[in-house]
Amino acid sequence: MKDVTIIGGGISGLTAGIYAQLSGLQSEIYERHTIVGGQCTSWTRNGFHIDNCVHWMTGTNPKTELYQLWTDVGVLGNGQELLKHDYFLQVNIDGVKAHVWRDLNKMQDELLAIAPEDAKEICSFIKAIKDFQAISIPALKPNEQMNFWDKIKMLSMIKALPVARKFGTMSIDDYIKRFKNPTIKALISNYLPKQYYVLATFFMYAMFTTGNADLPLGGSDMITNRMRDTYLSLGGEIHCRKKANKFVIENQRVTKVEFEDGSATETKNVICTTDPSVSFALLGETYMDAIFRKCYADKKSYPIFSEVNVYFSVETSIAHLPIMELFNCEHFKIAKKTHSVLCMNNYADEPNFAPEGKGLMQILVVQYEEDYEYWNNLYTTDKEAYRQAKTALVKEIQSRLEKHYPELQGKLTEIECVTPKSFNRFTGAYKGSYMGFVQTPHVEKMTHTGIIDGLNNFHLAGQWLLTPGGLPNALITGRWAVQRLLQRENRLHDFCCKKK
């Protein structure tokens, strides 16, 4: 019997495994899929590499605590190259182009030239981003383990407080009403869901402009492989094709995990990193606490979102196109919802994603819970109708791509179409959500310790424990789960005792 049994081999599970091994705890990971990585996933199709996760990664600035975590798990450091672009996003609305530049002064000058009528709000917007550059996510310890000096260090973020107070109860949709120009509105509102509180936009752009949200060369595949190799090098064990079916609970302890293939393993401690909807199904719904019940029940305050991702191969290089462009287009429908914006992600900087002389692009369309229900209903009731709906959508998107990029007419071929149902089928994601609950204004930020009442040897970890989720929170909660486990056993002094 190992010291720690980890269910789920995604980013959080691999992180928990690495820190368990570094702390002298023998661990093993059980993963339902054929490979580890969870939602940080990629695959090859027709000679093209499909990356269905990472577009940017918080924690690439060496001065941050997150960078230390990424280094501990093997993702950063040791010569790992980062893609550092001059701009994060180009927005093109009816031919008027604006950028999220790394140089905020350059960004302000460009926005003022485009929309002098919005000068006051543009300057306020840029100042908010600059003030949010003071934020650095606390990642080394969970809050209850911080001492006085740990909390004193957080005072360095005080510069962001006035912005948080001023705009903290405002959604992105509310905030863009302060602007007149449609291109400026799109720059602020069309990358993240509009229900998000606007502070999320300030934070995202602040991280990029401080070099704290760059992209590791190799993307999701590199991240997952480096973490897997780090874990295995420390003596950890990985078991794939092992889908957990039930947690056996005796005397307030999870004593055994039963798997779908009929096998089982006895457990001393369990860290469960699966989607919480899966975790509580394995435990039994009675173990779901008030925090999660509230989030799942209050869909307006804690919505979820997903995407349709369509990948096209291009019979020529597309290095001349923007690295990421959001543009308006002719209206099209998914189910009953009308869309008029597409976001194109260009992989020209990744040398191994497409054969030489060819290109690969990803098109993203935001989806919500009701959209998931549309795709799920099609898939469960009529798989042929599901396939036809995907085919029709791909044609709609391709025609708009060829209109926007006329030089690509006749050179695009669909490689893959990923729907919210795809996210759910292959990763177990709740209703296809690849992030956690959306952080909306007027509601308390969702945080969870991962400790479940009535279970003494069980911890949750994963992006759903801290809104809005994503890779950094999966990483953080994996580390914190090990720290909390050790604290319960009065062995916190052993944390990372074997770290070189």
pLDDT digits (tens, 9 = 90+) for 269-286: 999 999 999 999 999 999
pLDDT value of position 276 = 95
Tokens of 419: 């729907």
Strand partners, 126: none
Q: Would you state the structure tokens that stand for residue 371, as one six-digit string?
A: 């959209």
**CB contact at 8 A, 334 and 374:** yes
Q: How many CB atoms lie within 10 A of CB 117?
A: 12
- Distance of alpha carbon 450 from alpha carbon 478, whole angstroms: 10
H/E stretch holding 345 reads strand 337-346
Q: What is the pLDDT of residue 443?
A: 84
Task: Give the integer Cα–Cα distance in Å for 137 and 324.
Answer: 26
What is the per-residue pLDDT across 185-223, written as a single tens digit (0 to 9) for each?
999 998 888 889 999 999 999 999 999 999 999 999 999
Query: According to the model, what pLDDT value does residue 442 have?
Result: 82
pLDDT for position 374 = 96
| Residue with the two structure tokens 């863009």 | 176
* Contact status, residue 49 vs residue 348, Cβ threshold 8 Å: no
Rounded CA gap, 342 and 330, in Å? 10
| Cα(453)–Cα(421) distance, integer angstroms | 32
**DSSP 8-state code for residue 451:** B
SS3 81: coil
List, for residues 207-264, the tens digit of each pLDDT value: 999 999 999 999 999 999 999 999 999 999 999 999 999 999 999 999 999 999 999 9
pLDDT of residue 69: 98
**Of the listed ranges 98-107, 149-158, 466-475, the one predicted with least confidence:** 149-158
Judge whether residue 500 has pLDDT over 70: no
| Residue 367: band (very low, low, confident or very high) from pLDDT cuts 50, 70, 90 | very high
Strands 96-101 and 87-93: antiparallel
> Picking from 188-192, 239-243, 414-418, 447-451, which range would have the lowest pLDDT averaged per residue?
188-192
Place of tokens 């056993």: 489
Dist. CA 368–CA 158, nearest whole Å: 34
Transcribe 152-207 into DSSP letters: HHGGGGGGGHHHHHHHTT-BHHHHGGG---HHHHHHHHSSS-TTSBTHHHHHHHHH
